[in-house]
Structure 1
Amino acid sequence: MLANTRRDALAMVSYELGDDPWSVGCRAFAFGRHRLERAASSGDYPWLEVLDDSAHFVFVIGGNDNGVPVRFYRGAAEEPTERTLKRQEVEVQQLSLALGEAAAEGLAFRLAVETDGTGRVDRVECFWPVPLEMPPAVAAGAGVQLRLIADDGYAGPDEGASHPAPLPCRAAGSAASNPQRPQTTLV
């Protein structure tokens, strides 16, 4: 969903009218927040709920008061900023409910949306890469991605262009995937 929201934000860019990377980022964040709110309120995803719909936007993955709070940001997964790691009070409370106070201490769940020089999504990562496209066997029977742009078959501004293959998922902590990658409590 987050990759699609950035794609939709880029499809609406008008540099001639004053858009710049900041305005695109604001639009992509607003689209992502809206799409996740819509998915949570649809009832189709009982494991998804919105905990804080403010500009700090926190959503929960899981259910029955056992879900973990998650936030998203644009930037490198390996280099989250202090601001990105700052936890909101509702986030701390929810983590304590889900995992217990001791286990939740200092823990933050973040989805990093990494982009290339043009603003397109290279990968989404939460300790391990999240596939940007569903494998054909899964996609055939799965639900449809929500879109802000009407669901009329629109695939973005360069519908016919080829896109790089999504990065393969690697096992968390796998030495073969990246021997230099530090272990952190950011999940």
Structure 2
Amino acid sequence: MEPTAPPSPSLPPSPSRLPWDFHPALTEERLRVCARMLANARRDALAMASYELGDDPWSVGCRAFAFGRHRLQRAASSGDYSWLEVLDDSAHFVFVIGGNGNGVPVRFYRGAAEEPTERTLKRQEVEVQQLSLALGEAEAEGLAFRLAVETDDAGRVDRVVFLALRGEDRVECFWPVPLELPAAAAAGAGVQLRLIADDGYAGPGEGASRPVALPPALPPRRKPASGPSRPQTTLF
């Protein structure tokens, strides 16, 4: 009789709750819109990167965050998305999904969804207050909603995941947000995501990557025919 193989370690149960199970404002359509804005923002940051002039993953990441924040701010102020508001426009950017003062606060970060950092888990005071207002103090205790923007080695967006995190080690929702891919990318072409410009801005065009033409050089100045010479001042 062959020996019985030892049982494999059991994996923790996958989170069963979906975003809209926490609050009806967290619909699939709204999360798709927000996720596409963040993906478009990183696409634009990569398109505008100039590694010859010193850009690196850190500077591109800072620009992608600023672009994502700006896209969400512009969409919220446009009036086209009544369910989108900005709660904190600082570097701790917090936006709200849902209107009438009863929306759900969400933050975003670039990194692995399975490995949120301590900085990612940190909740802002206004975020805690808004979450308690939307869900009640008991349900909001220790809870944080995040959109994780995952990228590949080249910095391109792989996926965006909606997370509901409670405390430091409890994941109550892990939901990859569906992103719409063009036919070429869906067929396996190695191109960056070209997503829908939900806020009406398509991103930098081809002209953004072209160097700006320098003005024609001025003709050399003629030396004065006569008169005492004056010392010239050189600016560095």
| 4+ residue runs over 3 A deviation | none
In structure 2, stretches of 5+ residues that fail to align are 1-36, 163-173, 184-195, 210-236
Partner of 2:41: 5
Partner of 1:47: 83
Distance 2:80 2:109 in 1: 24
Residue 148 of structure 1, CA deviation: 6.4
Aligned residues: CA RMSD:
2.1
Distance 2:46 2:197 in 1: 21
| In the alignment, structure 1 residue 132 sits paired with structure 2 residue 168 | no
Amino acid at match of 2:160: V
How many residues of Structure 1 are paired with residues of Structure 2 in the alignment? Answer: 148
| In the alignment, structure 1 residue 119 sits paired with structure 2 residue 172 | no
Pick closer, same or farther for the CA change 1:104–1:74 going to 2, 3 Å.
same
Q: Give the secondary-structure state (helix, strand or coil) at the position aligned to 1:112.
A: strand
Pick closer, same or farther for the CA change 1:43–1:134 going to 2, 3 Å.
farther
Structure 1 residues 98-177: aligned runs within 5 Å = 98-126=134-162, 127-133=174-180, 144-146=197-199, 147=201, 149=203
The superposition leaves residues 35-55 of structure 1 with CA deviations (integer Å, 9 ceiling, x where unpaired) of 000000001101100000000
Partner of 2:99: 63
In structure 1, stretches of 5+ residues that fail to align are 137-142, 158-187
TM-score scaled by structure 1? 0.74
Pick closer, same or farther for the CA change 1:8–1:36 going to 2, 3 Å.
same
Amino acid at match of 2:49: V
**Residues 86 and 94 of structure 2 are in contact (CA less than 8 Å); yes or no, is this contact kept in structure 1?**
yes
TM-score scaled by structure 2? 0.59
For the pair shown, which has the larger CA radius of gyration, 1 or 2?
Answer: 2
Residue 17 of structure 1, CA deviation: 0.2
| In the alignment, structure 1 residue 18 sits paired with structure 2 residue 54 | yes
Residue 66 of structure 1, CA deviation: 1.5
Distance 2:93 2:52 in 1: 30
**Residues 161 and 177 of structure 2 are in contact (CA less than 8 Å); yes or no, is this contact kept in structure 1?**
yes
Residue 134 of structure 1, CA deviation: 7.0
Q: Give the secondary-structure state (helix, strand or coil) at the position aligned to 2:123.
A: coil
Residue 149 of structure 1, CA deviation: 2.5
The superposition leaves residues 82-139 of structure 1 with CA deviations (integer Å, 9 ceiling, x where unpaired) of 1101000000000010001111000000000000000000000002111221799xxx
Q: Give the secondary-structure state (helix, strand or coil) at the position aligned to 1:25.
A: helix
Percent identical across equivalent pairs?
84
The superposition leaves residues 56-80 of structure 1 with CA deviations (integer Å, 9 ceiling, x where unpaired) of 0000001112211000000011110
Distance 1:94 1:123 in 2: 27
Amino acid at match of 1:145: D
